Structure 1
Amino acid sequence: MTSAKSPIGGHVPVAGGMATKGLKYAADIGAETVQVFVTNPRGWAQAAGNPAEDAKLRESGVPAFLHAPYLVNFGSPTADTLEKSVASVRHALHRGAEIGALGVVVHTGSAVTQSFDEAMRQVHEHVLPMLEELPEDAPDLLLEPMAGQGNMLCATVDQLGPFFERLEHHPKVGVCLDTCHAFAAGHDLAAEGGVKETIDLLVSTVGEGRLKLVHANDSKDVCGSAKDRHENIGAGNIGEAPFGELLHHPAVAGVPFIIETPGRAPEPHAKDIETLKRLRDEG
């Protein structure tokens, strides 16, 4: 049984006001923590914040996380994409500080057509200096392993090792574990002992205390499919019970859970959060 309960919440809309709209939606679905986009997740635009809305979210006391745009790829062989990726994440970290976010989630990316070593050289040369710029109270940069499709730099949790090595185990680097991604990459969370094995491997790879966020998503596809298709909690191939095991693993004590599950809001999201809270509070 864990010593601290994980807050459970979801991704919330920010159109109409990051705090005004987002916190209302959070209340509607019973969220204890939130994740937001501060720009178009499928574009490069760097939108300025609304100081009043930023202050409301910051002062609400609700633990918040920010997700960087999906286009970000530090492993890209295209100079323009690499430059925009760095600028986009730098902007996200700045905006994260303005809203009081605990972390900024970024996908670990793909080497596309170049070698793994060349892509990881770029991670060292472009991401590490950005981390060195951060003040102590800035959000952590949370690396989210992918589902294993294409020439991905990191899918299984042990593949986080090279990232941490290239980033010199910087204290501002953490991990966001997406359960659907992990399952698709080959971590059989549904098997007996699968959750413990996966989390133990994560901790042995990156160290204690580096897991900062869990994206709690069931999977429409089977283990090892390399397909990133989320399903509602308990309705997919992972099933309900492994989420309870995850919530009670000692290394996950107090780590926030964010759902990114399908369905028209708010009903299915409220149900998923209710399920996770029940699993958290059992035992």
Structure 2
Amino acid sequence: MLIGSHVAVAGGLVKSGLGEAVEAGAEIIQLFAGNPRSWAQRAPDPAGDEAFRAACAELELPVVVHAAHLINLGSPSELVLTRSLAALDSTFQRAAAIGAEAVVVHAGSLVARGRRTAVLAGLHDLVAPIVDRAAPGVRLLIEPTSGAGEAIASTIDSSIQYMLALDDERIGLCLDTCHLHAAGEDMTDPAAIARAVDKITAALGPDRIGLIHVNDSRDPIGSHRDRHESIGLGTIGLAAPKALLSTPGLQGVPLLVETPTHARDVTLLKDLRTTFCIA
């Protein structure tokens, strides 16, 4: 099970992103392709992208791109929806340019009540063309959110419903321990985590969980607040990472931290891996 972290790339993909990755001892990294809170696209830099791609290939370092937070595949606004689809398409293009193997995007929000059935019914037709255009080897991963507002997918059950609506075996899930905890799922009970994985596998088939964000939470279970904490220092504790490492259905799924202390938490997960990983 590869263990890695999100990295900042504001200072340059190679200088900043890879520098942070090496410092943290990451075996897989995640990055934003541009400003996560803006629709504006990053200026093209083919030479920089190729240098980063080559360096990651030499280091045998897998890369995941996280799409912008503004993307909302459930928005009632035609403008937001149009921009969201264009941004996701662009993110796939950038992922291919830098040699990334996956794009992570938040499941989105209904914004207003009473829209769930219609939004789920239209998901496949919205997303399938983008996946069709994606470069071979770049997988789309849907990340359920913390359940705030009118989240489309947050719990295990609503995430399964979302994936069934997408109806595309090429698309996987990116689970986040803080998000699931905030949505009301028990991340402190290894048996509950194992049951959740079994439930996903039974409903969607094997190998649909492509990545796990391992983050502790500042807030209690069911809070619907997405506030990450360093592993072991929040309200989840060490039970979740220990269970993730020892759950048979998750062997081979990379674990990636998005915490305030990347290097510390990568080291902690690696130490736990030596004891709890069954592979």
Bin for the TM-score computed over the shorter chain: over 0.9
Aligned partner letter, 2:97: E
Higher helix share: 2
Contact 2:186 2:221 in 1 (8 A): yes
For residues 45 and 214 of structure 2, the distance between their equivalents in structure 1, rounded to whole angstroms, comes to 29
1:64-103 counterparts in 2 under 5 A? 64-103=63-102
Local SS of the residue matching 1:105:
strand
Q: CA deviation at 1:132?
A: 2.2
Q: Structure 1 CA distance, aligned partners of 2:10 and 2:234?
A: 30
Measured on the aligned residues, the alpha-carbon RMSD in Å equals 1.5
| 1:102-113 paired onto structure 2 within 5 Å | 102-113=101-112
List per-residue Cα deviations over 1:149-184 (Å, max 9, x = no partner): 11111111222233223322232x011000000111
- 1:269–1:136 distance in 2 versus 1, CA, 3 Å: closer
- In the aligned structure 2, how far is the partner of 1:185 from the partner of 1:36? 25
Q: How does 1:213-232 map to 2 (within 5 A)?
A: 213-232=211-230
User: Relative to structure 2, which stretch is displaced further, 14-23 or 90-99?
Assistant: 14-23
CA-CA distance at 1:234 after TM superposition: 0.3
Instruction: Give the residue type in structure 1 aligned to 2:215.
Output: N
99-108 or 160-169, which moves further after superposition?
160-169
Identical-residue share of aligned pairs (%): 41
Residues paired across the two proteins, number: 271
The one of the two structures with greater contact order (alpha-carbon pairs below 8 A, sep at least 6) is: 1
8 Å CA contact 2:190–2:243 kept in 1: the answer is no
Which of 12, 15, 22 aligns to 2:17? It is 22
Give the AA of the match of 1:188: D
CA contact (8 A) 1:112 1:150 kept: yes
* Counterpart residue type for residue 134 of structure 1: A
Q: Which runs of 5+ in 1 are unaligned?
A: 1-5, 263-267
- Give distance in 2, aligned partners of 1:237 and 1:27: 29
Where structure 2 has 5 or more consecutive residues not aligned to the other structure, the ranges are none
Equivalent of 2:49 in 46, 51, 54: 54
Question: Partner of 2:132 in structure 1?
Answer: 132
Task: Tell me which residue corresponds to 2:123.
Answer: 123
Separation of aligned partners in 2, 1:53 and 1:277: 31
Give, in angstroms, the shift of residue 192 of structure 1: 4.9
Structure 1 outlier segments of 4+, above 6 Å: none
Are the structure 2 counterparts of residues 125 and 169 from structure 1 closer, same or farther at C-alpha, using a change threshold of 3 Å? closer
Distance 1:201 1:210 in 2: 12
TM-score by length of 2: 0.92
Secondary structure of 1:193's partner? helix
